[in-house]
Amino acid sequence: MATSPVPQTFKVGLVQMRCSPDPAVNLARAVEQVRAAAARGAQIVCLPELFRSQYFCQTEDHANFDLAESIPGPSTEALAVAAREAKVVIVASLFERRAAGLYHNTAVTIDPEGQIAAKYRKMHIPDDPLYYEKFYFTPGDLGFSAVDTQVGRVGTLVCWDQWYPEGARLTALAGADVLFYPTAIGWHPSEKAEFGAAQSDAWRTIQRSHAIANGVYVVAVNRVGHEGAPGETASAVPTGGIEFWGGSFVCDPFGVVLAEASRTDEEILVVTCDRRHQETVRRHWPFLRDRRIDAYGAITRRFND
Amino acid sequence: MATSPVPQTFKVGLVQMRCSPDPAVNLARAVEQVRAAAARGAQIVCLPELFRSQYFCQTEDHANFDLAESIPGPSTEALAVAAREAKVVIVASLFERRAAGLYHNTAVTIDPEGQIAAKYRKMHIPDDPLYYEKFYFTPGDLGFSAVDTQVGRVGTLVCWDQWYPEGARLTALAGADVLFYPTAIGWHPSEKAEFGAAQSDAWRTIQRSHAIANGVYVVAVNRVGHEGAPGETASAVPTGGIEFWGGSFVCDPFGVVLAEASRTDEEILVVTCDRRHQETVRRHWPFLRDRRIDAYGAITRRFND
């Protein structure tokens, strides 16, 4: 694919979706929405983090490992069909079973021929109340990378990675012109009134900063809707579980938000990116020119104490 | 100074000033405004980048090296008196003459005893139309650091550094709880209508992101006012020179802007920072916990091609 000329402009599709308790339903709906995005012109479509299920990391339950699958596996096979039919690249976040007792939070990039072009295993794993990911996911061992696709060179990271400038930088240095962040982030309902606005704004701000620092497009794709803790019934004013805050967005290489989805509803965004604009931004704000690579070595230390 | 207990709360002072063509006037006014900030309770006061003169880097003129001075030198002596009298820490950005033909863009931290507690030489040097800094300043050779003061441990960076996540990260890893960015940034009048809002917003966004990524307070102190290119007369609608955009601000460790100065006028901000709030933010958003220091080594490469 790298032999084809890279297009000056290309369209990215974002599928902001609600996830049901039934993985089969979620896969069918994801495929349907990938097709809908492609019908609107998207050439690469990104799904939210772990879209095949509700966000099971709200509890530590060994039974949830049943949700994992191999890569390639059932999800990538179904998505490969969709990619071929719609002639799109798909970025899909999956719960990967690598071996018994060894699981990852993995994003695959499937090309329009239905092949897995790239695999990224989430490098930074959170562990916070209702986000017990360290119980489920071994931190990635594939590092940060980028891959050539029909829209050019792209890089994928996943959710918690978005808080780390190092991940964005290394993916951009690998040549990515666009960073995709499949995400599952939301408010604890009990905190939302006091902290909610600052939390979602910080989430947007840190990702916009990756665009600015690196001169790349950034595409963040979140899920939406409230998912209650097991045993809890959803109510009009939920007090438990997580209210996923949607707000999927695309920003340009200077951090300007080009499109942003609803906080509450499912939505497909299709946004045009322009490599000439990226070239202009990087010429005028040539941050890559002046990096002090001789002085960054201590980045690999935990703390300089 | 490190032996004194670190206060839970402390007040930072920001002196957003206009710079005249007369260095003596600028020094006198800086001292006056440091005193005014201290009178309002500031315990550490930051001046804008290269406040002693107008922004001479708009041209490449060998005569401008006459503006440089040794450190310690006349400016640090005058500021030391002010620091002692007002019992404040002063962060001052100076044009340092280190040797004949060897100059730096340097920030000094002067303690309330009037001693130079720390010296930082700007690591990232820009070179863009009207910002011809590579002509004047040798890139810093002191690395990124932090120093204990009466308000706790602080780190200083300078202007163009603010676009580099690596500088902020390394300064935070050195233990800084607050990052100071003396700055001289503005609009090219001919670009302002089309790009001005995006430029100043990107400037604010990238610095807020350093606060978020590192759980630190960030203090950005800019100059204000139009400074024309030599030989050009300032007019009501300037077409040349630089319109420094002010907008000095403080944000908290989650990127929330606590105070922001005018875009057009001189202004002193005095803002309370709270180390307990920083502790809370870092506990709830423990990004330092999960850094993949085993996987960041390629940060020291120019580009991974």
Residue B1 binned pLDDT confidence (cut-offs 50, 70, 90):
very low
> How many A×B Cβ pairs under 8 Å?
163
Q: What is the mean pLDDT of chain B?
A: 95
Would you state the pLDDT for residue A241? 93
Cβ count near B217 (within 10 Å)? 26
Catalytic positions of A, written as ranges: 49, 122, 159
The three-class DSSP label of residue B36 is helix
Interface contact B299-A294, CB threshold 8 A: no
The one-digit pLDDT tens for each residue of chain A (305 residues) are 445 678 899 999 999 999 999 999 999 999 999 999 999 999 999 999 999 999 999 999 999 999 999 999 999 999 999 999 999 999 999 999 999 999 999 999 999 999 999 999 999 999 999 999 999 999 999 999 999 999 999 999 999 999 999 999 999 999 999 999 999 999 999 999 999 999 999 999 999 999 999 999 999 999 999 998 644 555 555 668 999 999 999 999 999 999 999 999 999 999 999 999 999 999 999 999 999 999 999 999 999 99
pLDDT at residue B3 greater than cutoff 80: no
Which among A193, A265, A257, A251 has a CA at the least distance from the CA of A223? A265
Residue B152 binned pLDDT confidence (cut-offs 50, 70, 90):
very high
CB B183 within 8 A of CB B231: no
CB A21 within 8 A of CB A57: no
Kindly state the DSSP code that residue A288 receives in the 8-state scheme.
G
Domains and CATH numbers, chain B: 9-300 (3.60.110.10)
Would you state the pLDDT for residue A168? 98
Q: What are the tens digits of pLDDT across the range A55-71?
A: 999 999 999 999 999 99
Interface contact B169-A169, CB threshold 8 A: no
Q: What is the mean pLDDT of chain A?
A: 95
Residue with tokens 């490969």: A80
Q: Where are the alpha helices (DSSP H) in A163-290?
A: 165-173, 189-214, 275-284
pLDDT at residue B70 greater than cutoff 60: yes
Of B143, B213, B295, the CB nearest to A295: B143
Q: What are the tens digits of pLDDT across the range A150-171?
A: 999 999 999 999 999 999 999 9
Q: Chain A residue closest to B213 (CA)?
A: A163
What does the block give as tokens for A191? 């905190």
ipTM for the predicted complex comes to 0.96
Q: What are the tens digits of pLDDT across the range B160-205?
A: 999 999 999 999 999 999 999 999 999 999 999 999 999 999 999 9
Can you give the C-alpha Rg of chain B in angstroms? 19
Task: Count Cβ neighbours within 10 Å for each residue of A137-172 and write b for 16 or more, e otherwise.
Answer: bbbbeebbbbbbbbbbbbbbbbbbbbbbbbbbbbbb
Q: Does the beta carbon of B301 lie under 8 angstroms from any beta carbon of chain A?
A: yes
Measured distance CA(B181)–CA(B91) in Å, rounded: 9
Residues 106-125 of chain A with CB under 8 A from chain B are 123-125
Closest approach of chain A CAs to the CA of B79, in angstroms?
30
B202 contacts on A by Cβ (under 8 Å): 212, 254-255, 285
Interface contact B302-A287, CB threshold 8 A: no
Query: pTM, whole model, 2 decimals?
Result: 0.96
Q: Chain A residue closest to B173 (CA)?
A: A303
Task: Count Cβ neighbours within 10 Å for each residue of A107-125 and write b for 16 or more, e otherwise.
Answer: bbbbbbebeebbbbbbbbb
Backbone angles phi, psi at B297, to 5 degrees: -55, -35
Residue with tokens 């690249």: A89
Task: Count Cβ neighbours within 10 Å for each residue of B1-27 and write b for 16 or more, e otherwise.
Answer: eeeeeeeeebbbbbbbbbbeeebeebb
Measured distance CA(A88)–CA(A36) in Å, rounded: 11
Lowest-confidence range among A123-137, A237-251, B37-51, B269-283? A237-251
The three-class DSSP label of residue A34 is helix
